[in-house]
Amino acid sequence: MDAAQQASLKGGSGIVGNADQGGARQVTLIEREIWDEVSRALRATVEPVMRRANLLVSGVRLADAGGRVLRVGACRIRIRGETKPCERMDEACEGLHAALAPRWGGGAYGEVLDDGEITVGDVVHWE
């Protein structure tokens, strides 16, 4: 996973150039606030890229958001469900899998509804 400052999204497909295209799991998201909390609890410097999610969002709660529509900049993403962390998280940092398991800590996945560009710093909010 490589961090990027912007990405192109295509409705019904996902992030342009990403391996996962189509289906319900076009984009994966994690919350900055939960990530920071987990890092503090583990007393480790854990970079968000270790989670291998597509988008790191802040200021919105993803827990129990299935069916809701999240606006990221000019694009909308319908949240389809919870992304459960896998055991491979412990390869990045011992204890990370268990720390992300509760309360949608592993994030969410969804489908892209609109074509458009998103950029780091775009406003994120529920519709």
The CA distance from 107 to 101, in Å, is: 9
Query: For the chain, what's the residue count?
Result: 127
What pLDDT is stored for residue 3 in this prediction? Answer: 82
Q: What is the pLDDT of residues 24-48, one digit of tens each?
A: 899 999 999 999 999 999 998 888 7
- Residue 60 vs residue 46, higher pLDDT: 60
Mean pLDDT across the chain:
92
* Token duo for residue 34: 């939960």
- Residue 99 vs residue 91, higher pLDDT: 99
What pLDDT is stored for residue 23 in this prediction? Answer: 87
What pLDDT is stored for residue 103 in this prediction? Answer: 86
% of the chain at pLDDT higher than 90 = 74
| pTM of this structure | 0.91
46-to-32, 50, 88, 96 alpha-carbon distances in Å: 12, 7, 14, 9
* Token duo for residue 80: 């389809």
Cα 66 to chain center, whole Å?
13
What pLDDT is stored for residue 1 in this prediction? Answer: 63
